A = this chain, B = another copy of it.
Amino acid sequence: MSEGIRVAVSTVIFSLRSRPDAPDALMLPLVRRTRGPFLNHWAVPGGWLREDEGLDDAAARTLDETTGLSASYLEQLYAFGEVDRSPTRVVSIAYWALLRQDLVDAQLSTRPAPENVAWFDVDDLPTLAFDHDRIIAYALWRLRNKVAYSRIAAGLLPDEFTLSELREVYEAVLGRRLDPSNFRRLIEGSEALVPTESFRTGKHRPARLFRYNAEVALAETGPPT
């Protein structure tokens, strides 16, 4: 039987953060542990599953409790259950979500994050507790995989955006530069985007704003209920 096994949840939140004089960076919040094991190590936000709550609810609750953040939709990523991933036997159900920077800022303006929370560039992570490096690597793999064939980038953008802004999201997620002309041809050839009649003006020449075609689902929504 499985009486000695405990169940936890953890959640990887990706956001795109602007940086002065540098391209936007894909970042995620981590929580510095205030107890053992792995005291003072950084960990993915999470906590124990309660007997009276479902997995999705537990992910949302522990994310809120540890970081002050909430996402409109958390997608289940994977159940991590290696025997030696923790000193005691813990199966952790990992979730992930995208959260727009303006929504992060709005949430933290009403209730500041706990002191032991910090945001890290996905390419510059600290030493992590447990197998959380593996959880983050898999969440990143899933995100990169999805951005290539779905409308997932919409979760990181405002409702309307220029093609350059969209390309910068792809570049931050994929971790490499893309050729602007090729990118424009690829996107314009798909039916994912709808042009608007608005333009972004500024120091460059005006650029048309686009929005995603709302008829296409943003992410896999899990099993039918």
Contacts and interface: CB of A to CB of B under 8 A. Distances in A.
A111 to B, nearest CB: 26
A89 B54 CA distance: 10
Given A79-B79, A93-B81, A223-B78, A3 B6 contact: yes
A50 B83 CA distance: 10
B91 A7 contact: yes
A48 B2 CA distance: 6
A4 B1 CA distance: 12
A157 B86 CA distance: 40
A82 interface: yes
Interface stretch (A32-40, A100-108, A133-141, A163-171): A133-141
A79 B83 CA distance: 17
Contact of A89 (B51, B91, B134): B51
A55 interface: yes
Q: How many copies does the complex hold?
A: 2
Interface string A72-90: 0000101111110000010
A2 B51 contact: yes
Contact of A79 (B6, B51, B55, B138): B55
A40 B160 CA distance: 56
A159 interface: no
A51 B82 CA distance: 10
B93 A134 contact: no
A79 B223 CA distance: 10
A115 interface: no
Contacts of A89: 51
Contacts of A50: 2
A52 interface: yes
Nearest to A92: B79
A8 B1 CA distance: 9
Nearest to A77: B223
Interface string A35-67: 000000000000011111111000000000000
